[in-house]
Amino acid sequence: MSLQTLAPLGFDRTRSQIRPRFEGCNICTWIGFKHVMYCIEEAVVDHFRAHGLGPRELYEQKGLCLEIVDSSVRILHALHIDDTADIEVAPSPKSPDGVLRVTVTLTVQRDGKPLKAVTGFVDVLFRLDDSVVTPQPAIGDPRLAPYTCTRIRRGPQRSIPDAGLATARQAGTPRMDVRRALAADEGNRFVWQWRVPYFYCHFNDRLQHSGYLRLMEEVLDLFVAERGISIRTLLENKKWIPVVPQASLQILDEAMMEETIHTVFTVEDIFRDTTYRSRMDCYVERHGGLVHTATGIITHGYAVVENRRDWSLVTFDAEVSAALRGKRTAD
């Protein structure tokens, strides 16, 4: 069934007006990529609410969990705190099988004129609830049957079964057996061990899309600190801040509350010492193996803070360029 088949449900474009959260205003008045994507997520949920498919009604009456499983954005212009983002959400004619894809366009006002600031897409599916705290069976909704699943499992995955791992619960540096399984010491990468907390989860047991966004931001913060170019170090010494022009995140399998998850952050490319692209891969320890649960791509550059309102992009200097390549400046 295609989106056109669902037209009687009213899958037309919608518009939402959303202000970025105060929490996302970390450097001057600019909003970080995670909270930009939070705005997109809220607009997509509003889109489904507007068509009678709000997450509360779906869950309580049908046993359906609205799940964002893929997102991709291009950030063309910075958002600021107190901006009102006008976000248009529209059905995409290019939905992959098994999901509803919507396109998003975020516009803000600059000098009295609309400015396109963010574009992208989001994929949504509906998972049948089987939580241990909700014993009544999920009944689903026949209108959404093509986009309904009993478990989130998508590809391509790079799982590592039967790795002979012992279960760990603490956060921090992964054990040597995990590092070997993930080839942590090969290539330009950083690996972090973490325990999935309940407040990153939803529908009683699963790590949700926004939880992975938080994880992506945190592993980047740990990576640059490990390389000696922490956010605070560059801010104080150079007045530099990281900027993100592109980011994407895809859920591949389910990660459950209180499981141990290993996040691999790999620098894949550095473009002319102006931006670098990194991949985040998340693996859950399960039954002695590593299940690949999510993957994402994020592109970073650096900008110098000129005053409380303005910044401009810079070229990496020798220190930053060497750190991103896993080298010492003196090498």
List the one residue out of 104, 42, 97, 96 whose CA is nearest residue 76: 104
Which residue in this structure is represented by tokens 């309940």?
Answer: 198
Q: How confident is the model at residue 137, as a pLDDT?
A: 87
Q: Please tell me whether residue 122 adopts helix, strand or coil conformation.
A: strand
Residue 91 and residue 3 in contact, taking contact as beta carbons nearer than 8 Å: yes
For the chain, the 3-state helix, strand and coil shares in percent, each to the nearest 5, are: 25, 40, 35
Spell out the domains of the chain, with CATH numbers in brackets.
1-150 (3.10.129.10), 152-331 (3.10.129.10)
Q: What is the pTM of this model?
A: 0.91
Q: How confident is the model at residue 10, as a pLDDT?
A: 45
d(CA 214, CA 200): 8
Q: How confident is the model at residue 172, as a pLDDT?
A: 66
d(CA 141, CA 89): 23
Residue 286 and residue 269 in contact, taking contact as beta carbons nearer than 8 Å: no
Q: How confident is the model at residue 166, as a pLDDT?
A: 52
Which residue in this structure is represented by tokens 């450097």?
Answer: 27
Give 7's contacts (C-beta < 8 A, 6+ positions apart).
none
**pLDDT tens by residue, the chain, 331 residues:** 333 344 444 478 999 999 999 999 999 999 999 999 999 999 999 999 999 999 999 999 999 999 999 999 999 999 999 999 999 999 998 888 899 999 999 999 999 999 999 999 999 999 999 998 988 889 999 989 999 999 999 887 776 665 555 545 555 677 778 877 777 778 899 999 999 999 999 999 999 999 999 999 999 999 999 999 999 999 999 999 999 999 999 999 999 999 999 999 999 999 999 999 999 999 998 888 899 999 999 999 999 999 999 999 999 999 999 999 997 554 4
Give 17: exposed, middle or buried? Use CB within 10 Å, 0-12, 13-18, 19+.
Answer: exposed
Task: Count the neighbouring beta carbons within 10 Å of the beta carbon of residue 271.
Answer: 10
Q: How confident is the model at residue 162, as a pLDDT?
A: 56
Residue 120 and residue 103 in contact, taking contact as beta carbons nearer than 8 Å: yes
